[in-house]
Structure 1
Amino acid sequence: MDAPAGTVERAAQDWAARYLGELATQRQLSPHTIAAYGRDLAELGQLAGHADWARLTHADIRRFAARLHAGGQSARSIARKLSGWRGFYEWLARQTALPANPVDGVRAPRRPKALPKALAVDDAVQLMEANVHGHPEPFELCNRAMFELLYSSGLRVSELAGLDLAYRDAAAAPSSASTSPGWLDLDGGEVVVTGKGGKMRRVPVGGPARAALAAWLAVRPPARDGSAALFLSARATRITPRVVQQRLKQHALRAGTAVHVHPHVLRHSFASHLLQSSGDLRAVQELLGHASITSTQVYTSLDFQHLAAVYDRAHPRAKSK
């Protein structure tokens, strides 16, 4: 015979209180963390209603997770609650003859994959053309060359920082690749970079980037560390990815760009704008150096976002503003 509903609920409240007490005394968790666990267990009680917590099944917990998701809770929040419930049932199994942990194997809904942030074409062009002086002349030219190359060729910031000057003997370049992660071939209009997994690729360099690189090379001082680094810091040593990030952020702020800009935003913008113009997903994959086309397919969503924005802005029957 089942126990009365009030008795079942009091038993659940007593278990929750004892569990939270042990978290405080034995595991010495912070009051903030314990309060969060308490809220999660209170929500479990609301979902369970008058049901005995010790008799909840795997199917019950899955149904509870689905209800949370339908109620608008994020996948991250649901995953955290499932983790808290799982820990509670592990403790309860040591206190009672619990046959199995009903939370084991229950997964939160998949988190939607965040789309890469890309600039609009006009914003990217404006950023590249902004004449913002924040450094002495040579390093302003260095900045412009770096930013143009990031957007022109879709490089990772680590690939950009690792570039060396052009090899004098082009025929010797392949055999020297093991000593250099990448180099510039300005006459040929391309850069050779070594990406993830040691995969080497050649990427074209656009006209504005070539002009900016030529202007920088005309004033580039000798590297203080004796390296053949293409881009140099204020101390005339090879630039680091962190310095590139800082310089781009400052440049974007002075240029009045409305969004936060970091090097990967320029890489995403390169891929999105190229795909919008060409529709050639395989070519974009090769230029980005993605091992799998699955990594590149996210840019098709960006392309649809662009089309949807145009539709909403221009079509007479689009949704009201």
Structure 2
Amino acid sequence: MKTIITNKFSRAFAVLLLLTLSGVVTANTECTYNSDNQITTDVSGDGWCLERDSLARKVSAYKFGLCTELPYANNFQSVCEFIYESDAALELIAEKGVTSSVSGIGDFFLTHDKLFTHSVLLLDYNSATKGLAQFTEAQTGSTGTGTYCWSNGRKFYDVDSSDRTKWSAECGTLAESNPQWNSRSYHLFADAGNPNIPALERNFPNWDGGWTNILLDSNLDAAAYTSSAPYDFDSTTNTKYWLAGRGIDSGRGITVTPLTKGLDIQFKVSWGNTISHNSTGIWSMSPAGFDLTIDLK
């Protein structure tokens, strides 16, 4: 039997205190901060780190659902029940310090007395982020210098770390800051174990109840390379979608009953911005991860 649920979907941004990613899990390094929320990471050489609290994160979802097990390309359509499913993408924008309702999701049905352990989002492979970070020392951006750096609206494919005029981060004073959406099309991921290797999936089945990140083609099958080996990050693929599975309550899950009135679903973007740096300055801000929390109402 299925229970009708009145939509209680909300979007929110907050520092996700439940999420403490390690470098092993993300193949990235968290930015370190002092008590004044200034980044203390050594950015004097080549590297990157994850900004703790980006200003905003934007994705477009074609499907959103709850699943009875960790969703993969070969099972998500059979183990998940969808509360949103459309050829028209639902834009989800999470903003720091803002909680607001999302329009476009009506009432939906879920099977009651079934344990849903994971959520799933089928996303467009293009997404965007806004970042604004303060450093303890002045940094160099695309045209300016200062202790604040922010995203300047450049698309990832048009960024060149060796050409300052093509950097996607600007630096200056807080008064000068004007964060814009920096977008990136994920036709490839970095491998979960080695960020220097391209991959079509980036899965952490043992992390926080299990996470999957899998690129799919237009037929919702696993994406494939359309260029010849050996593969690098310039290789072409037939990617159209990003399948993102996340554990609900670290995989413990929720069970919908006839008394369930709704779901409180929060799309969060902590650690949603990667800051890249080299000996010259802060040359990139680009979309990274996101998380979901789901509770019964």
Short-chain TM bin = under 0.3
Structure (1 or 2) with the greater strand fraction: 2
Structure (1 or 2) with the greater helix fraction: 1
Query: Which has the higher Rg, Structure 1 or Structure 2?
Result: 1
Return the TM-score normalized by structure 1. Answer: 0.21
Higher relative contact order (CA 8 A, sep 6+): 2
Return the TM-score normalized by structure 2. Answer: 0.23
